[in-house]
Amino acid sequence: MSLLSCLEHTPGGPVRGTVIWLHGLGASGYDFAPLVPHLGLTDVRYVFPHAPEAPVTINQGYVMPSWYDIRSLDHAASDREDPAGVRASAEHVHALIAREKERGVAHDRIVLAGFSQGAAMTLHIALRVEQPLLGAMVMSGYLVLGDTVKAEATEAGGKAPFLFAHGSADDVVPMAGGRAAYEMVTARGIQASWNDYRMGHEVNAEEVRDIRAFLHARFGSL
């Protein structure tokens, strides 16, 4: 499998850890790169992969960057997302994690992060890893392939803490979906924090402060 194209911010000196950050539907790895200077971690590599381009059913089949096909706007629909697409994108992200190991960054020094569709992928992957991550950030996200979690979630996937963040006025991914994902995670005994903000489907300054605090706490624990 070929590696996804990525935008990267790499320190000039030794790299203490890595954040792999997955963008939302129709966006690109450039979306969250401007946040890097505001996070205050000068010895951490940031990897912002660009999702593969594919037709998306809810957008009239237009080809766009997407981690998987979304077939319905109904968040309760059991076949809302394409399972094969979710699993294929998970393999792409695992390949990026493996590359970090080759570059000297251990699995437990990696934080996986994502926004919206990228957050759904982050949650999916983080619950199923074979080796513990350092942490996972689920921003404006939701659960995909929920009926497979019980069979597929790993012991390693329960060791790293999660940050959940969501806008209370989000009309793209309703906050109830993010809250349900958070409650599923905590019901499994996984350490997780919930943060909501008076905003829509976006990221605001308050959320950036919480992201910064989470990252500093995780990398500070090394």
Please list the active-site residues: 116, 170, 201
| Residue (of 164, 5, 144) closest to 76 by Cα position | 144
Cα distances (Å, whole numbers) of residue 145 to 120, 141, 148:
10, 13, 6
Strand order in the sheet with 110-115: 6-9, 44-49, 17-22, 110-115, 135-139, 162-167, 192-197
- How many C-beta atoms lie closer than 10 Å to residue 145's C-beta? 21
Is residue 46 within 8 A of residue 29, CB to CB? The reply is no
Q: Using alpha carbons, select from 131, 103, 132, 89 the residue that is nearest to residue 8.
A: 103
Contact, 139 vs 207, CB < 8 A?
yes
Torsion on CA atoms 193, 38, 21, 97, rounded to nearest 10: -100
Tell me which residue of 137, 100, 114 sits closest to 18, measured CA to CA.
Answer: 100
